[in-house]
């Protein structure tokens, strides 16, 4: 089913995904599964060869922890290789660790001494491929142009003069293909070292896409997520290098709330990110089809959803982080959706 969904996204150019379960032992028992099926997100990402971008949904009464942030900071994480596909050895005592590459054509191997161990330690081997880095770069340029935001890319090529430098070089080469489109859209491509990027991000107003290597993206996306307020206000889109878009909420199935619901208890689950997944997809499809009514509907739905939160009607997760106001009140999931629908109806007249 997941593979069929990927094929459908390729056909239609756009998809919406609800949160899915990545089964563990408990879930296999709970749902009587034949096996521990792989992560649907991983399967989709592999099938579409895509990169996941996250961006926060900003409401005027949910203030980011960082006061200077006025606009969303979008983040793109390279989801292949580096520490996530490594080999590691625990070194128990003295010895030599070497890096060896043996070319398939039988020519002489390349060899580097990693370290001459005098005592116990650790050693790790990591890799990446030009193909994967280039696809990541393409997806980042596609997304930045789509969102009309500047693109920042950061790594540590002063220290890693071959490995990280290859990332820098591929991004610079790829920029050559986008330079004109970027100029026309009045956006820029900017490279800086990761530590400088972190310092600048914290002082910035936001309003750009930050493209990160795998580990940096893992760490920084959680930092941004929590600094912007709530996991339920984080939207997510998978962009393929050939320009297909799959929209989703960044959060999971909110399992604890579901079990409460099954027991007949009321829940206050926040549907904002899921609503924005739908509006993102509708807007994109509307743009593809040149149908401004669909684009306008997406805009109105977003404005209705934000207007509801800004009027003080919100789910429990938001009340904890909202600017205090006598208008603030927590509502249950269904009441919240009804309030948004009322807002939308009054907008549509
Ligand atoms: P989760 O569903 O994101 O929920 C984690 C916690 O965050 C919730 O218990 C809730 O906190 C809060 N939360 C998240 N979304 C919320 C919302 N919309 N409204 C209100 N609160 C929200 O993560 P999980 O519990 O670790 O994972 C549950 C399942 O989702 C797992 O089976 C996992 O495989 C799957 N998952 C799927 C995706 C995906 O498809 N993209 C992503 C992540 C996880 P409180 O309990 O404190 O209210
Ligand atoms: Mg993480």
Q: Which residues have CB under 8 Å from 125's CB, separation 6+?
A: 86, 87, 88, 99
pLDDT, tens digit, 9 for 90 and up, residues 15-27:
999 999 988 899 9
Q: What is the reported pLDDT for 222?
A: 85
Q: Is the CB of 226 under 6 A from ligand 1?
A: no
Q: What is the reported pLDDT for 130?
A: 97
Looking at the chain, the whole-number percentage of residues with pLDDT higher than 90 is 83
pLDDT, tens digit, 9 for 90 and up, residues 216-268:
998 998 889 889 888 899 999 998 888 899 999 988 999 999 999 999 999 99
Residue whose structure tokens are 């208890």: 265
Residue of 24, 53, 251 with the most ligand 1 atoms within 8 Å of its CB, for mutation: 251
Q: Which residues have CB under 8 Å from 348's CB, separation 6+?
A: 300
What is the rounded average pLDDT of the residues 86-91?
A: 94
Q: Decide if pLDDT at 43 tops 90.
A: no
pLDDT, tens digit, 9 for 90 and up, residues 262-311:
999 999 999 999 999 999 999 999 999 999 999 999 999 999 999 999 99
Question: Taking the chain, what is the end-to-end CA distance rounded to the nearest angstrom?
Answer: 39
Q: Are strands 245-249 and 234-239 parallel, antiparallel or unpaired?
A: antiparallel
CB 6 within 8 A of CB 44: yes
Q: Is the CB of 2 under 6 A from ligand 1?
A: no
pTM of the predicted structure, to 2 decimals: 0.87
What is the rounded average pLDDT of the residues 57-70?
A: 92
Q: Which residues have CB under 8 Å from 139's CB, separation 6+?
A: 50, 51, 53, 76, 239, 240, 241
């Amino acid at each position: 089913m997941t593979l069929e969904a990927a094929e459908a996204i390729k056909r239609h150019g756009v998809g919406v995904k609800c949160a899915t379960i990545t089964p563990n032992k408990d879930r296999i028992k709970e749902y009587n599964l034949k096996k521990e099926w792989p992560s649907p997100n991983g399967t989709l990402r592999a099938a579409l060869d895509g990169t996941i971008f996250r961006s926060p949904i900003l409401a005027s009464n949910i203030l980011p922890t960082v006061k200077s942030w006025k606009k969303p900071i979008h983040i793109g994480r390279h989801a292949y290789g580096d520490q996530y596909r490594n080999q590691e050895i625990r070194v128990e005592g003295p010895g030599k660790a070497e890096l060896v590459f043996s070319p398939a054509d039988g020519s002489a191997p390349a060899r580097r001494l990693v370290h001459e161990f005098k005592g116990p330690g650790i050693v790790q081997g990591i890799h990446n491929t030009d193909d994967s880095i280039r696809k990541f770069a393409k997806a980042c340029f596609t997304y930045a142009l789509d969102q009309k935001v500047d693109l920042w890319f950061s790594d540590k090529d002063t220290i890693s003069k071959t490995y990280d430098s290859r990332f820098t070089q591929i991004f610079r080469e790829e920029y050559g293909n986008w330079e004109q489109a970027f100029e026309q859209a009045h956006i820029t491509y900017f490279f800086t070292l990761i530590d400088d990027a972190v310092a600048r991000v914290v002082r910035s107003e936001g309003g750009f896409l930050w493209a990160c290597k795998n580990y940096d993206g893992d760490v920084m996306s959680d930092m941004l997520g929590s600094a912007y307020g709530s996991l339920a206000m984080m939207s997510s889109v998978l962009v393929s290098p050939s320009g297909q878009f799959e929209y989703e909420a960044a959060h999971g199935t909110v399992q604890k709330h579901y079990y409460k619901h099954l027991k007949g208890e009321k829940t206050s689950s926040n549907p904002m990110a899921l609503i924005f997944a739908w509006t993102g997809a509708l807007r994109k499809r509307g743009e593809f089809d040149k149908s401004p009514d669909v684009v306008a509907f997406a805009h109105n739905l977003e404005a209705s959803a934000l207007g509801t939160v800004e009027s003080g009607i919100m789910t429990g997760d938001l009340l904890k982080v909202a600017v205090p106001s006598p208008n603030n009140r927590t509502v249950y999931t269904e009441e919240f959706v009804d309030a948004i629908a009322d807002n939308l109806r009054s907008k549509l007249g």
